[in-house]
Amino acid sequence: MASIRIDPSDATPVYQQIINALRTLLVAGAFGPGDRLPTVRELALDLGVHHNTVAEAYRLLADEGWLELRRRHGATVLDRAHPKATPETRKAFGRRLRELAAEAHAAGLSAAAVAQALRDIAEELTAGTPANAGRRQ
Amino acid sequence: MSPVLAHLVVPSAMLLMALMFHITPHLSRPEIFFAVTVAPGFRSSPPGRAILARFRLVLWLNTAAAVIVAALLIGRWPFIVIVGSTWQLVAAAVALVNARRHTLPYAQPSGPREIELLPARGLQGGAVLQLLPFALIGLTALYVSLHWDAIPDRFPIHWDATGRPNGWGTRSFVGVFAPAVISAAVCAAVSGLYYAIAHKTRGGSDTDRRMRNLNLRIVLGVQMLVALTFSWTMMLPVVPGLMRFATVIPTLVALFVVSAIAGGLIMTRRLKASGGDFTPDACWKGGGMFYYNPDDPAIFVVKRFGIGYTLNFGNRWSWLWLALLMLPGLTIAAMTIAKSR
């Protein structure tokens, strides 16, 4: 069962948390092309957040090419072509990853634990892509 | 009401009310105390116990005073019942507000919110089931109109507690079909409530959805009982023999109320053990009895005290539903006043 989790007390804005959670599910193949996500109103109601917060998250995911938004029909998952990563994307990702790894290390995680966590995530992503293993429920 | 009965009933009702307030703080999940999110063991800690003891002391002292005054003076001034009950309610509300104020310094940040992504909504078969009470009213009205000649010129429409008629109707459109109009209006208003619960309550977890379905069944049950009661009343002039079954409807109502309360208690306990209501502490007002959050799209949220739902007064639609729900009652009251003049 696909589920998402947000923490209103977290420093990350709620709309960004929704984007992160949904993107993780989409990357993992929890939803396939043509699947419908809950409408903005339904998701906002279930999470107890303002409509605009969810609408902004859906809009940004649509900008990334994950969703098609149609009035009264909610959000439909698109067959998103895998874009080729540009050198700028790789550079930006490396910088964010380095910052996150430093934060984890400062919080007491060993380099080996950080590396293992990254390997686990990479395996999950690879196993979850529809091209390889079908959809994960 | 006889004086002896009044001396027994009024204090008993007030004591029952106090007992309800007494247990109210226990009808919430462990990390909610006087509508404030606290550490799970807080209620059994010294400050938690002190807050609860102070709340109950104020509640019972005021109840005792209100009961004594009401019992002593009810023979001379019957309106003292209203004064005593209001005194008790205001004292309990003030005690709740104070208990919440004393709990707030121990508030903890509410945890993360996790939901399942499911678009399904409402009780299966709800729309068809909702037509049943209207069908019952309509068919009864049709039957009565087809047997118009069998209706006496004057017939009983209201009875006292002993079953003796104390209200009479006449063979006219209003006299015969008023129960159909009133019950249809009540059922229509309750259908609005059904819609609001089906579409404007949280359904992000299995327990949320079970709670919602239980409430939808209760709403449908209320509609059926209203339709049944008024249809029975409408049929009486045509089939007076139905009076022999006068105890059936109160029995059904009693069974329905007991099962609804039992179901509500079970579901509320499950819901409150399932990880939160996604409502910020700061949005609970009046000692935690009222929820006001303009950012929350929910019209109904699970109460922090007691069982069932309460309105989100920060949502403008809540006020519309409230007005809609009060409309039949106000209409009946206005009609009764107009008739008595």
Q: Which tens digits make up the pLDDT trace of B194-219? A: 888 888 888 888 778 888 888 888 88
- In three-state secondary structure terms, B119 is coil
Q: CB A45 to CB B298 under 8 A? A: yes
- The first and second tokens of residue A4, run together, are 């998402």
Nearest 5°: CA angle at A76, between A74 and A81?
150
| Same-domain pairing of A63 and A26 | yes
Q: How far is CA A106 from CA A12, A94, A102, A103, A109, in A?
A: 19, 18, 6, 5, 7
Chain B residues touching A49 at Cβ < 8 A: 295-296
B264/chain A closest Cα distance in angstroms: 21
Chain A residues touching B112 at Cβ < 8 A: 5-7, 10
- Looking at residue B109, its pLDDT comes to 79
Residue at A97 is within a domain: yes
| Same-domain pairing of B51 and B88 | yes
- Tell the burial category of B45 from Cβ atoms under 10 Å away from its Cβ (0-12, 13-18, 19+): middle
pLDDT of B28-76, one tens digit each? 777 788 888 888 788 889 999 999 999 999 999 999 998 888 877 777 7
Q: CB B117 to CB A47 under 8 A? A: no
- Looking at residue A23, its pLDDT comes to 92
The percent of residues above 70 in pLDDT, for chain B, comes to 90
Contact B110, B202 (CB under 8 A): no
| Same-domain pairing of B229 and B320 | yes
Q: CB A36 to CB B279 under 8 A? A: no
Residue at B113 is within a domain: no
Helix (H) or strand (E) holding A69: strand A67-70
- Looking at residue A131, its pLDDT comes to 39
A82 vs A58: CA distance, rounded Å: 19
Beta strands in B150-265 (DSSP E): 154-159, 165-170
Picking from A48, A47, A70, the residue whose alpha carbon sits closest to that of residue A58 is A70
pLDDT of B11-30, one tens digit each? 888 888 898 889 888 777 77
Chain B residues touching A8 at Cβ < 8 A: 110, 113, 280
Residue at B284 is within a domain: yes
Residue at B10 is within a domain: yes
pLDDT over 70 (residue A67): yes
- Looking at residue A130, its pLDDT comes to 43
Residue at B288 is within a domain: yes
Query: What is the domain extent for residue A124?
Result: 87-130
Minimal Cα distance from A42: which residue of B?
A: B119
Nearest beta carbon to residue A48 from set B109, B116, B279? B279
A91/chain B closest Cα distance in angstroms: 32
pLDDT over 60 (residue A137): no
What pLDDT band is residue B125 in, cutting at 50, 70 and 90?
Answer: low
Residues 6+ apart with CB under 8 A from B301: B201, B202, B277, B279, B291, B309, B310, B312
- Looking at residue A83, its pLDDT comes to 65
B33/chain A closest Cα distance in angstroms: 20
Picking from B50, B92, B20, the residue whose alpha carbon sits closest to that of residue B288 is B92
Q: CB B114 to CB A3 under 8 A? A: yes
How many CB atoms sit inside 10 A of residue A93's CB?
11
| Same-domain pairing of A33 and A66 | yes
Chain A residues touching B115 at Cβ < 8 A: 3-5, 46-47
| Same-domain pairing of A30 and A72 | yes
- Looking at residue B70, its pLDDT comes to 81
Nearest beta carbon to residue A50 from set B113, B203, B295? B295
Q: Which of A102-106, B86-90, B156-160 has the lowest mean pLDDT?
A: B156-160
| Same-domain pairing of B300 and B182 | yes
| Same-domain pairing of A49 and A67 | yes
Total structural domains in chain B? 2
| Same-domain pairing of B26 and B168 | no
Q: How much is the average pLDDT of B141-145? A: 93
Q: How much is the average pLDDT of A10-38? A: 90
Residues 6+ apart with CB under 8 A from A33: A77, A78, A79, A80
Alpha-carbon B72 to chain mean position:
31
- Looking at residue B274, its pLDDT comes to 56
| Same-domain pairing of B274 and B336 | yes
| Same-domain pairing of B102 and B151 | no
Minimal Cα distance from B201: which residue of A?
A: A45
B184 vs B327: CA distance, rounded Å: 12
- Looking at residue B119, its pLDDT comes to 56
What would the DSSP string read from start to end of A47-59?
HT--HHHHHHHHH
Query: What is the domain extent for residue B269?
Result: 126-340
A91 vs B320: CA distance, rounded Å: 54
What would the DSSP string read from start to end of A4-52?
EEE-TTSSS-HHHHHHHHHHHHHHTTSS-TTPEEPPHHHHHHHHT--HH
Residue at B114 is within a domain: no
pLDDT of B214-253, one tens digit each? 888 888 999 999 999 999 989 988 888 888 887 888 888 8
Residue at B59 is within a domain: yes
Nearest beta carbon to residue A5 from set B113, B201, B280? B113
- Looking at residue A58, its pLDDT comes to 95
| Same-domain pairing of B71 and B132 | no
